[in-house]
Amino acid sequence: MKATACRKTHFNAAHRLMNPAWDDNRNKEIFGVCSNPNYHGHNYDLIIKVTGDIDPATGYVMDMKLLKELTDKHVIQKFDHKNLNLDVDEFRQLNPTAENIAMIIWNILRKEIDHKFSLSVVLYETERNFVEYTGK
């Protein structure tokens, strides 16, 4: 008996979309206002989804408190109230698009969560733009 357990959390961050191999004009042409050199920002909503068997002793797929603690420690403390381009090592050479942020979060959490569980990350950049990354 498998189920998917989901935990929603959030972080607030500044970012600028840019390919460091391109000059400012090319970045502005491709990324428009999202490439403002002084940055802009978002309230990111993040949903972590873990799929696995329901443990008959607890009735949990995975203890949500543990999932929350892992996400807080490895993701939220690293990203919240930060400038993603300047303050987060993973984005020094990687464009902090929603797709790439979701991929980085998935890579971070994949190391922390038992491989008997499958893992999916949904990231809302705004309520209108969001992405899902499943590692496939």
| 46 interacts with its own copies by CB under 8 A | no
The residue among 23, 15, 24, 37 whose CA lies nearest residue 99 is: 15
Per the residue annotation, which of 15, 42, 81, 115 is the catalytic one?
A: 81
Contact 16, 85 (CB under 8 A): yes
Can 81 be counted among the known catalytic residues? yes
- Give me the least distance between CB of 4 and its own copies, in Å please: 4
Can 15 be counted among the known catalytic residues? no
Per the residue annotation, which of 34, 74, 90, 132 is the catalytic one?
A: 34
d(CA 113, CA 70): 8
CB-based contacts of 135: which residues, under 8 Å, 6+ apart?
106, 110, 119, 120
Q: Which of 9, 72, 74, 110 binds its own copies (CB under 8 A)?
A: 9
**CA 72 remoteness from chain centre:** 12
3-state secondary structure 10-30: EEEEEECCCCCCCCHHHHHHH
Per the residue annotation, which of 15, 74, 125, 127 is the catalytic one?
A: 125
| 75 interacts with its own copies by CB under 8 A | no
Q: Which is nearer to its own copies, 7 or 74 (CB)?
A: 7
Give the β-pairing of 118-124 and 40-53.
antiparallel
Task: Give the residue numbers marked as catalytic.
Answer: 34, 81, 125
Which residues of the shown chain bind its own copies in the complex (CB under 8 A)? Answer: 1-10, 12-15, 17, 19, 30-34, 36, 38-43, 54, 57-61, 63-65, 80-83, 86-87, 94-100, 102-103, 126-134, 136
